[in-house]
């Protein structure tokens, strides 16, 4: 069996760390525990796929689908040499059936004691570290949900009437503010443009107006990435001027946001943070935007660093892709939120704060079975996208997995756009090859304003003008973006970056690693430079006698200039994966799908890519039916955050 795992590793089916873990288990437990070593490798492999655990029931029902093996670009040679996942478990008696596997785990020394490397819980197998993360999150959230302060509903209604205006129409934004007063944990979820920022400013005002203490609440705003934090701060600052009746507390509402790493105080060359259970944050309220991007390790760090009295409020779109790292925290906590599942008691309490009853279809007599949903508000109506027009219609149909309209659109998008102007901002471009001339024209036209700005360098030795010039170029990068579904192969991010770079800069991009105009993305946190995974910069020359530098935007709206030699973990960013695009928006988004169907193509991936576009979306594909296949597939990440 170890020989088979070695072949899987050699052919790229599993990672080196997965195979090494299996070897370590055999060395420590002995050759008679080969089955345990195989399971350890599979648990580690699942972590690489974003699952904090190995769901044993799913493994035995469909090994290939659960393990996502063979990989999307498996060679013919590897398919001949490597045992298929569906046959792997049959090679050892201890793994032949699920009952045999569970019996073996019960008696394994790898699961004995409080410090065992593996933990099994309800047919889910964890590495202990990730089991600990999950338990930490569950126990903390349960404690915060249980702390329900006494709230005067009449006083709360009066404050909400002032902030939202009295109305006989149901406002879910208003309900979210009321919900946040009931406990120390709240989730606000909804798609792009559904009013999350509009709500959070009024939520902050509600908290400050109804605070029990004399001093203003200490409120921290954060997001997983620098770009998301900057956009959160900008949106709140813009919305603040439109909120009535807050003159006396306006100075108490924060308008700056930071990354989670900076909030917690990331320690250099360590997984740890300065703030933790023994050194908690000095905060009464922590609000985190783009919470769908938070992985299980980061969420555990957040709750550990929160003081016991503090409120935690998560904002995000539950239907977006989960985090790149292991875990689908927001998606699991919000599972079923579109149906409400509010208990009758909660529905009555919420109605009393607005004089508008909660719709009957959102009330569930057995709502106590959905504990997190008693603290969750979901917004359905988008102010940015019309659900019956263009981008909004396409996103809604994909998210709901409705194929009737989609099937017509993927084969007749140009004809529909010509006949129905409300659909002229979405287009499907069918091509045969990834280097098709139609793609080249589309991308060169999209990046033309960017290239024009590069031709207008600032006066020599004028650093302020250089900062302004770099800021314009970085802003222009947000106007047009190519997104790919996959990383490798002719239709993947790396090859498209190489191709697009050549189309834009010719031989300079082919022979030089660093050249004027190259857009780059940081791919790993660099604490020494205060750069985070996902930060975008552009290579520029500030003056004729100066070396090339990479300009990065700062959270304060300025520019940082860093020498390329100091950047060791970056990718070209003219093309990025849909995963990496989370938390960003672009005026015109080009979404490139691969030539053949692969497991990564899901309705969540498509929905996330579609909703990155603000004004125009172009879907590029060699096979329109591929989009229909992807819509029918959902992401199912394993985990035990929810118990229902």
| pLDDT of 385 | 67
Would the annotation count 193 as a binding residue? yes
Number of neighbours of residue 270 by Cβ within 10 angstroms = 8
| Segments of the chain with pLDDT less than 50 | 644
Alpha-carbon distance 107 to 420, whole Å?
66
| pLDDT of 386 | 65
| pLDDT of 488 | 85
Helices 128-146 and 296-305 cross at an angle (nearest 10°) of: 50
174 by Cβ neighbours in 10 Å (0-12 / 13-18 / 19+) ranks as buried
| pLDDT of 643 | 56
Contact between 429 and 618 under an 8 Å Cβ cutoff? The reply is yes
Would the annotation count 191 as a binding residue? yes
| pLDDT of 133 | 94
Alpha-carbon distance 86 to 65, whole Å?
9
Q: Strand 519-522 vs strand 570-572: parallel, antiparallel, or unpaired?
A: antiparallel
Chain segment 172-184, per-residue pLDDT in tens: 998 999 999 988 9
- Alpha-carbon separation of residue 558 from 13, 84, 227, 480 (angstroms): 44, 53, 13, 22
Would the annotation count 194 as a binding residue? yes
Q: Which CATH class is domain 152-379?
A: alpha beta
Helices marked H in 377-492: 390-399, 404-419, 437-454, 463-477
Number of neighbours of residue 565 by Cβ within 10 angstroms = 9
Chain segment 255-290, per-residue pLDDT in tens: 888 889 889 988 877 788 899 999 999 999 999 998
- Tell me which fold the domain 1-127 belongs to: Arc Repressor Mutant, subunit A (1.10.10)
| pLDDT of 555 | 67
Would the annotation count 195 as a binding residue? yes
CATH 1.10.10.1020 region(s) of the chain? 1-127
Question: How are strands ordered across the β-sheet holding 376-379?
Answer: 258-259, 219-223, 285-288, 311-316, 185-190, 376-379
CATH 3.40.50.300 region(s) of the chain? 152-379, 390-632
Three-state secondary-structure class, residue 394: helix
Chain segment 439-482, per-residue pLDDT in tens: 999 999 999 999 999 999 888 888 899 999 999 999 999 999 99
Would the annotation count 457 as a binding residue? no
Q: Strand 285-288 vs strand 519-522: parallel, antiparallel, or unpaired?
A: unpaired
Element (H, E) at 159: helix 153-164
Would the annotation count 190 as a binding residue? yes
| pLDDT of 107 | 86
Q: Does domain 390-632 have CATH number 3.40.50.300?
A: yes
């Amino acid at each position: 069996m170890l020989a088979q795992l070695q072949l899987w590793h050699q052919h790229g089916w599993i990672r080196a760390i997965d195979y090494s873990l299996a070897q370590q288990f055999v060395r420590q437990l002995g050759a008679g525990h080969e089955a345990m070593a195989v399971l350890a490798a599979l648990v580690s492999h699942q972590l690489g796929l974003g699952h904090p655990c190995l769901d044993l029931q799913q493994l035995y029902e469909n090994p290939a689908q659960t393990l996502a093996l063979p990989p999307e670009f498996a060679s013919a040679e590897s398919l001949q040499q490597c045992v298929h996942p569906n046959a792997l478990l049959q090679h050892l008696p201890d793994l032949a059936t699920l009952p045999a596997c569970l019996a073996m785990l019960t008696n394994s020394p790898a699961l004995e004691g409080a410090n065992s490397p593996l933990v099994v819980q309800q047919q889910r197998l964890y590495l202990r570290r990730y089991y600990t993360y999950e338990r930490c999150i569950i126990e903390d959230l349960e404690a915060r949900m249980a702390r329900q302060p006494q709230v005067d509903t009449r006083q709360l209604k009066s404050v909400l009437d002032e902030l939202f205006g009295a109305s006989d129409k149901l406002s879910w934004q208003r309900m979210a503010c009321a919900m946040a007063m009931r406990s120390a944990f709240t989730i606000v979820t909804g798609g792009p443009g559904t009013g999350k920022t509009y709500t959070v400013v009024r939520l902050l005002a509600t908290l400050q107006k109804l605070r029990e203490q004399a001093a203003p609440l200490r409120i921290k705003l954060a997001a997983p990435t620098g770009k998301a934090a900057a956009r959160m701060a900008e949106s709140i600052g813009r919305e603040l001027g439109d909120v009535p009746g807050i003159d006396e507390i306006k100075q108490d509402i924060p308008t700056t946001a930071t990354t989670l790493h900076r909030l917690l105080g990331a320690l250099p060359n360590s997984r740890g943070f300065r703030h933790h259970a023994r050194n908690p944050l000095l905060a009464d309220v922590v609000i985190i935007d783009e919470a769908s991007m938070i992985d299980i390790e980061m969420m555990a760090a957040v709750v550990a660093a929160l003081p016991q009295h503090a409120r935690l409020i998560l904002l995000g779109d539950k239907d977006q892709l989960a985090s790149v790292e292991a875990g689908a925290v927001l998606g699991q906590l919000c599972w079923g939120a579109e149906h409400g599942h509010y208990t009758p008691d909660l529905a009555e309490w919420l109605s009393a704060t607005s004089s508008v009853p909660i719709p009957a279809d959102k009330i569930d007599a057995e709502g106590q079975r959905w504990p997190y949903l008693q603290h969750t508000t979901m917004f359905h109506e988008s102010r940015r996208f019309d659900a019956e027009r263009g981008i909004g219609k396409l996103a809604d149909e994909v998210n709901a997995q409705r194929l009737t309209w989609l099937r017509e659109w993927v084969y007749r998008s140009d004809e529909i756009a010509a006949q129905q102007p409300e659909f002229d901002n979405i287009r499907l471009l069918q091509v045969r090859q990834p280097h098709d001339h139609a793609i080249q024209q589309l991308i060169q036209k999209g990046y033309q304003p960017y290239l024009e700005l590069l031709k207008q360098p600032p006066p020599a030795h004028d650093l302020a003008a250089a900062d302004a010039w770099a800021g314009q170029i970085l802003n222009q990068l947000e106007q047009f973006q190519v997104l790919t579904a996959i990383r490798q192969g002719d239709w993947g991010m790396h090859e498209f970056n190489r191709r697009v770079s050549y189309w834009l800069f010719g031989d300079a991009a082919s022979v030089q690693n660093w050249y004027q105009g190259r857009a780059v993305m940081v791919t790993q946190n660099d604490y020494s430079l205060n750069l985070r995974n996902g930060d975008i910069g552009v290579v520029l020359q500030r003056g004729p006698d100066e070396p090339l530098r990479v300009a990065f935007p700062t959270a304060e709206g300025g520019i940082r200039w860093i020498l390329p030699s100091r950047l060791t973990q970056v990718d070209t960013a003219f093309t990025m994966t849909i995963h990496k695009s989370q938390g960003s928006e672009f005026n015109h988004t080009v979404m490139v799908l691969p030539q053949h169907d692969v497991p990564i193509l899901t309705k969540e991936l498509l929905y996330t890519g579609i909703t990155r576009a603000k004004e125009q979306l172009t879907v590029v594909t060699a096979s329109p039916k591929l989009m229909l296949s992807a819509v029918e597939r959902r992401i199912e990440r394993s985990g035990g955050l929810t118990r229902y």
